[in-house]
Structure 1
Amino acid sequence: MTFQISAISIYNEDGRIRTVPFKTGKLNIITGDSRRGKSALLNIVDYCLASKKYVIKGAALRNFVQVFAVTLVKDQQQLFVARPAPAGKAATATTMCVVAQALGAPPPQWAELNFSTPLDIAKNVLSEFADIDRTVRIPAVRSATPIPPSVRHALFFCLQKQNEVANPDLLFHSQGEEFLPATIRAMIPYFLGAVDPDQALLENRLRLLRHELAQLEAALAAARSLSAASGQALALVTEAVEAGLLQPPREGMTAERALEHLRQAIAESAPTQIPDAGDDPVSALVEQRRGLRERHGRARARIANLKRAAQENNEFLDQAAEQHARLATLNLFAPANTADQEPRCPVCDSHQPQLSQIAEVINRDLGRLDADMTVIGSDTPEINALIAAEKDTLQEIRSALGRNQEQLDTLTAGQRAAQGQADVSRRAVLVQGRISLFLETAGRHVQGPQVVDRREEIGAKIAELEEAIGAGARDDRLNSFVSRINTKIKDKAATLDLEHKESPIRLDPQGLTVIADTARGPVRLADMGGGENWLGYHVATLLSMHEWFSEQRSPVPRFLILDQPSQVYFPEDAPDSTALAGPDRTALLNLYKTIQSTVEALDGDFQVIVMEHADLDDEPFRSSVEARWRRSNDQALVPQDWITADINDD
Structure 2
Amino acid sequence: MSRWNISEIFFLGNEGRRRTITLLPGVNIITGASGTGKSTLIKAIDYCLGSSQCELPAHVRRHSFAVGVKWVSGESQMITGRVIPPVGQRTSTRMYVTSGRNLRLPNTLEKFDGLTNVQAGKAFIERAFGIGDPIDYTNDGQAQRGRATIRHATAYMFVTKDVIYNETALLHGLDQADEAKGIIDTMPYFLRVLNEKSVIDERRLRELRRQYEREERKQQKQTGTDDDFHQMATRVLRDALRCGLIEALPVANSEQDLRESLRLARRSNAGLVVNPNENELPALYTQRKELLSNIEAVRRKSRGAKTALLEMSDFEGTVHRQYEKLDIASHIRQVGHVCPVCESPSDRGRDIADTLQNTMAIIRSESTAVEGVRPRLVEHEQELQNQLTELNAQLRGVDERISTWIKQNEENMRLETLGRYRAHLLGKISILLGMRSSERQATVDLNVLRDEIEALDARVDREARQVLLDRAHRKISAYASKAIAELPTVTPCVDVEMEFYSRPPDIAVIEKGQSVVLRLSDLGSDQNYLAIHIALSFALQRYFKEAKSPVPGFLVFDQISRPYYPAHGEDETLLSSKSEDEDVLAMRKHIDYLFKETDAQQDLQVLLIEHAFFADDPRYVQATRERWNRASGDALIPLDWPERAES
Q: TM-score, normalised by structure 2?
A: 0.70
* Aligned twin of 2:532: 537
* Aligned twin of 1:265: 265
Cα 1:217–1:641 change in 2 (3 A) is same
Instruction: Identify which of 607, 610, 619 aligns with 2:608.
Output: 610
Question: Does 2:531 align with 1:517?
Answer: no
- 1:32 is displaced (CA, Å) by 0.1
* Aligned twin of 2:544: 549
Instruction: Identify which of 522, 527, 531 aligns with 1:527.
Output: 522
Equivalent-residue separation in structure 2 for 1:13 and 1:607 (angstroms): 31
Task: Render the CA deviation track for 1:268-293: whole Å, top value 9, x for unaligned.
Answer: 1003653217899xxxxxxxxxxxxx
The alignment partner of 1:565 has SS state of: coil
Matches within 5 A, 1:224-263: 224-230=223-229, 233=233, 236-237=236-237, 240-241=240-241, 243-246=243-246, 249=249, 254-263=254-263
Bigger drift between 237-246 and 121-130 goes to 237-246
- 1:467 is displaced (CA, Å) by 4.1
Letter in 2 for 1:547: R
Cα 1:175–1:151 change in 2 (3 A) is same
- 1:66 is displaced (CA, Å) by 1.7
Task: Render the CA deviation track for 1:392-442: whole Å, top value 9, x for unaligned.
Answer: xxxxxxxxxxxxxxxx9xx99x9799946x4x5576467546645653x34
Overall identity of the aligned pairs, in %: 25
CA contact (8 A) 1:229 1:258 kept: no
* Aligned twin of 1:75: 74
Cα 1:480–1:277 change in 2 (3 A) is farther
Equivalent-residue separation in structure 1 for 2:187 and 2:413 (angstroms): 66
* Aligned twin of 1:637: 636
Instruction: Identify which of 491, 497, 503 aligns with 2:482.
Output: 491
Equivalent-residue separation in structure 2 for 1:239 and 1:93 (angstroms): 72
Matches within 5 A, 1:16-31: 16-23=17-24, 25-31=25-31
The alignment partner of 1:554 has SS state of: coil
- 1:31 is displaced (CA, Å) by 0.1
Question: Does 2:447 align with 1:448?
Answer: no
* Aligned twin of 1:502: 495
CA contact (8 A) 1:515 1:525 kept: yes
CA contact (8 A) 1:126 1:151 kept: yes
Equivalent-residue separation in structure 2 for 1:277 and 1:102 (angstroms): 100
Cα 1:530–1:437 change in 2 (3 A) is closer
Equivalent-residue separation in structure 2 for 1:84 and 1:117 (angstroms): 11
The alignment partner of 2:78 has SS state of: strand
CA contact (8 A) 2:4 2:73 kept: yes
Letter in 2 for 1:5: I
Cα 1:92–1:506 change in 2 (3 A) is same
Letter in 1 for 2:5: Q
CA contact (8 A) 2:237 2:262 kept: yes
* Aligned twin of 1:43: 43
CA contact (8 A) 1:229 1:254 kept: no
Gaps of 5+ in 2: 137-141, 281-403
Cα 1:109–1:452 change in 2 (3 A) is closer
The alignment partner of 1:174 has SS state of: coil
Cα 1:644–1:272 change in 2 (3 A) is closer
* Aligned twin of 1:10: 11
The alignment partner of 1:474 has SS state of: helix
Cα 1:253–1:271 change in 2 (3 A) is farther
Task: Render the CA deviation track for 1:156-180: whole Å, top value 9, x for unaligned.
Answer: 1001221112212221001110143
Instruction: Identify which of 469, 475, 495 aligns with 1:478.
Output: 469
* Aligned twin of 2:557: 562
Letter in 1 for 2:442: Q
Equivalent-residue separation in structure 2 for 1:433 and 1:520 (angstroms): 75
CA contact (8 A) 1:243 1:431 kept: no
- 1:153 is displaced (CA, Å) by 0.8
Cα 1:415–1:123 change in 2 (3 A) is farther
Task: Render the CA deviation track for 1:358-411: whole Å, top value 9, x for unaligned.
Answer: xxxxxxxxxxxxxxxxxxxxxxxxxxxxxxxxxxxxxxxxxxxxxxxxxx9xx9
- 1:87 is displaced (CA, Å) by 5.6
Letter in 2 for 1:610: L
- 1:96 is displaced (CA, Å) by 0.8
Letter in 2 for 1:94: T
Equivalent-residue separation in structure 2 for 1:244 and 1:144 (angstroms): 64
Equivalent-residue separation in structure 1 for 2:412 and 2:550 (angstroms): 73
Cα 1:253–1:587 change in 2 (3 A) is same
Task: Render the CA deviation track for 1:445-476: whole Å, top value 9, x for unaligned.
Answer: 57835356442x54444444444444421111
* Aligned twin of 1:297: none
Task: Render the CA deviation track for 1:549-594: whole Å, top value 9, x for unaligned.
Answer: 1122210011011111111111243456443742211211111111
Matches within 5 A, 1:613-628: 613-617=611-615, 618-628=617-627
Equivalent-residue separation in structure 2 for 1:92 and 1:212 (angstroms): 38
CA contact (8 A) 1:517 1:523 kept: yes
Letter in 1 for 2:30: I
Aligned length, in residue pairs: 503
Question: Does 2:53 align with 1:53?
Answer: yes
CA contact (8 A) 1:270 1:429 kept: no
Matches within 5 A, 1:207-356: 207-230=206-229, 233=233, 236-237=236-237, 240-241=240-241, 243-246=243-246, 249=249, 254-271=254-271, 274-276=274-276
Letter in 2 for 1:170: A
CA contact (8 A) 2:18 2:107 kept: no
- 1:43 is displaced (CA, Å) by 0.4
CA contact (8 A) 1:37 1:637 kept: yes
The alignment partner of 1:627 has SS state of: strand
- 1:229 is displaced (CA, Å) by 4.7
- 1:233 is displaced (CA, Å) by 4.3
Gaps of 5+ in 1: 138-142, 281-407, 646-650
Q: TM-score, normalised by structure 1?
A: 0.70
Cα 1:600–1:446 change in 2 (3 A) is closer
The alignment partner of 1:636 has SS state of: coil
Superposition CA RMSD, Å: 3.5
CA contact (8 A) 2:14 2:642 kept: no
- 1:200 is displaced (CA, Å) by 3.7
The alignment partner of 1:472 has SS state of: helix
Equivalent-residue separation in structure 2 for 1:435 and 1:135 (angstroms): 55
Cα 1:501–1:416 change in 2 (3 A) is farther
The alignment partner of 1:608 has SS state of: strand
CA contact (8 A) 1:71 1:81 kept: yes
* Aligned twin of 2:157: 158
Equivalent-residue separation in structure 2 for 1:53 and 1:586 (angstroms): 40
CA contact (8 A) 1:629 1:635 kept: yes
- 1:598 is displaced (CA, Å) by 1.5
The alignment partner of 1:560 has SS state of: strand
* Aligned twin of 2:116: 117
Equivalent-residue separation in structure 1 for 2:419 and 2:508 (angstroms): 85
Letter in 2 for 1:269: N
CA contact (8 A) 1:73 1:103 kept: no
Letter in 2 for 1:487: A
* Aligned twin of 2:359: none
Cα 1:148–1:62 change in 2 (3 A) is same
CA contact (8 A) 2:216 2:446 kept: no
CA contact (8 A) 2:146 2:185 kept: no
Task: Render the CA deviation track for 1:138-196: whole Å, top value 9, x for unaligned.
Answer: xxxxx996632111111110012211122122210011101433322222221122223
Of structures 1 and 2, the larger Rg is shown by 2
Letter in 1 for 2:266: I
